[in-house]
Amino acid sequence: MSDDLLEVRGLRVTMRGAAGGRAPVVHDLSLRLAAGEALGLVGESGSGKTTTLRAILRLLPAAGRIAAGQVLFAGQDLARVRERDLRAVRGGRIGVVWQDPLAALDPLMRVGEQIAEVIRAHGRGASRREAHQRALGLMRQVELPGAEAMFRRYPHELSGGQRQRIVIASAIAAGPRLLLADEPTTALDVTIQDQILTLLARLRAELGLALLLVTHDLAVVWQTCDRVAVMYAGRIVEEGPVASVFAAPRHHYTRGLLGAAPSLEMPGVLPRGIPGTQPGPTGAPGCAFAPRCPASDHKCRTVTPVLAAPSGDGHPAACHHPLPTGLGAGRA
Amino acid sequence: MRDTTARSAEAVLEIRDLSVTYGGRPPVRAVRGVSLRLARGEALGLVGESGCGKSSLARALAGLEPAEGQVMMNGRPLPHRRTREQARRVQMVFQDPYASLNPRMTAVQTVAEMLRVHRLRPKDQIAERARELLDLAGLPSQVADTRPAALSGGQRQRVAIARALALEPDVLVADEPTTALDVSVQAVILELLAHLRETLGLALLLITHNLAVVSAVCDRAAVMHSGEIVEQAAVPALLASPQHPYTRRLLAAVPRLGPPPG
């Protein structure tokens, strides 16, 4: 066994389409996360990043199914364990932060009670009083002002940033070692996003938490994560340390994505878009990015590239014609 | 006095002491005495966070929201209740093209309807002109007869832009036009807006929470906070030496792709 906290091996997720057939939305996806590490799973809408996160927790929508693969966590394969064994994992040993805190919270329950509920559900025999005290402690830990008064509030009485702090407090309430976060700051204003990202970084350091962060925002990944995996059309197309991937992307999609982000450092410079659109789910062979790729040839359209490390230094990319390592920097 | 008149004649759009107040007890003053000028062909970014009043301001400009104060178009007052001719001078593009397009109309029908209502072309030329406009907005001709549901987000926004262009406006007010789009598509739409501005001499008021978008597209930026413009400057100056504490706070909060500056 490795010292990985989470290992996903060969995950394949299919969705039932409107016509009744099943289409693959995540193909042969593997990733590993060491204890205390932060991995950013980045991609545009429809890339399969949220589906991957949901598959890890077996919280796929009714049309979705794990068709193959393993999700290894704490010596168990979450893709196979009984549903009731999953309950100790979801929100317990794996904390989860969703994009929309208002949807994640119970509108009719005081926010403090929602944290206390997690403690009682996962904390074997904590009394009501203990749970209450620990919830207050958690609210202070996520820097909510006036915890006593805040405890008794309802979600609608809180600001978006305060709600997300409640969700984060609930996510860490049972003392997990792994946090999954799906676009945790996308619904928030930029000044609040900054505060929440700072909070997540502090909690990770204090609690030794590993983080799997799903986002579309490369800058958020840069600021938050150690490693990044770039998804396109249901596959990881490039993966490596954040500094390496962003400074010297090897996949043409990653380079395109980096060049498409407008920058504060270069006023008056228009970002370059990537012509075309991401294809929907398809089982067809070949590289899904080939139709939009400046370097694609016949091989790209017929043979699916695998995520492979280069012979020299550099990180893995699923590309037949990868950009040379150390060159072609995305921000050039 | 004479001087003022001359300057406002240069401005394609000028607002003076504009306020938008919503009913309720107490009433909410969403926009508080804002003054802005937009020169012909200029791109001005209006930046702020949710609730700062930027969308209320945009809607008031487009005549979609009653407001106090003055809106001047080419030096002449533009009343809240506008004639067709006045209404078409300022056109809007919204954040969510899916919500702002009629789901039962194809792209061509959407644009053609505008041309017909405003009687901008003889009947027999409407369809042709609609296709021309969609082409100008970069919509592939194969999908011109497609309804919004079958279009991608970027394509929908192109239809919304073509519809706005149909009225040959002087000013395009774009309220978070790329916020609902993926970053690779956002870049393509920003390119389109910059191109239209250049080729049509269109003035652009770009409303967004995203300072990086303003940095890429705009000449000047106005920062809005609690219904007021707290700072206004040329984009490079605003980014290099923000004066107002709120602008500084906003700039510091933007996550950067790369090592922190300095």
The nearest alpha carbon in chain A to B260 belongs to A223
Q: Is the ipTM of this complex over 0.90?
A: no
Which residue out of B183, B214, B220, B247 would a mutagenesis test of the A interface target, given it has the greatest number of A Cβ atoms within 10 Å?
A: B183
- Averaged pLDDT, A153-170: 96
Q: Is the pLDDT of residue B7 over 70?
A: no
- Place domain A6-225 in its CATH homologous superfamily: P-loop containing nucleotide triphosphate hydrolases (3.40.50.300)
Residue A201, pLDDT above cutoff 70: yes
On whether any CB of chain B is under 8 Å from the CB of A110, the answer is no
Judged by CB atoms closer than 8 Å, whether chains meet at B187 and A273 is answered as yes
Rounded Cα–Cα distance for residues A56 and A180 (Å)? 9
Residue B262, pLDDT above cutoff 50: no
Residues of B in contact with A278 (CB under 8 A): 182
Q: B168 near B148, Cβ under 8 Å?
A: no
A 205-264: CB under 8 A from B: 216-220, 222-223, 246, 256-264
pLDDT of res. A330: 45
Provide, rounded to the nearest whole percent, the portion of chain A with pLDDT above 70. Answer: 97
Cα separation of B238 and B221, whole Å? 7
CB distance from A18 to chain B under 8 Å?
no
B218 pLDDT band (50/70/90 cuts)? very high
Sign of CA dihedral B116, B120, B124, B127: negative
Q: pLDDT at position B6, please? A: 41
Q: Which residues of A touch B49 (CB under 8 A)?
A: 189-191
Size of interface A-B (CB pairs under 8 A): 123
Task: Tell me the CA distances in angstroms from A275 to A179, B186, B214, B216, B261, one per residue in order.
Answer: 35, 11, 22, 18, 31
pLDDT digits (tens, 9 = 90+) for A218-245: 999 999 999 999 999 999 999 999 999 9
Q: Give B33-44 pLDDT, tens digit per residue.
A: 999 999 999 999
Q: Chain A partners of B233 at a C-beta cutoff of 8 Å?
A: none
Q: pLDDT tens for residues A64-123? A: 999 999 999 988 999 999 999 998 899 899 999 999 999 999 999 999 999 999 999 997
> How confident is the model over B89-109, as a mean pLDDT?
92
Q: B22 near B60, Cβ under 8 Å? A: no
**A1: closest CA of chain B, how far (Å):** 35
Has residue A313 got a pLDDT over 90?
A: no
In chain B, which residue's Cα lies nearest the Cα of A217?
A: B183
pLDDT of residue B259: 64
pLDDT in tens, B180-200: 888 989 999 999 999 999 999
pLDDT in tens, B144-177: 999 999 998 899 999 999 999 999 999 999 999 9
pLDDT above 90 for A30: yes
pLDDT band with cut points at 50, 70 and 90 for residue A276? confident
pLDDT computed for residue B112 by the predictor: 96
CB contact under 8 A, B182 and A191: no
Across residues A178-183, what is the average pLDDT?
A: 96
Average pLDDT score, chain B: 91
Contact A219 B257 (CB under 8 A): yes
Q: Residue B128 pairs with which residues in a beta bridge?
A: none
Is 60 exceeded by the pLDDT of residue A1? no
Residue extents of the structural domains in chain A: 6-225
Q: How far apart are CA A3 and CA A18, in angstroms?
A: 42
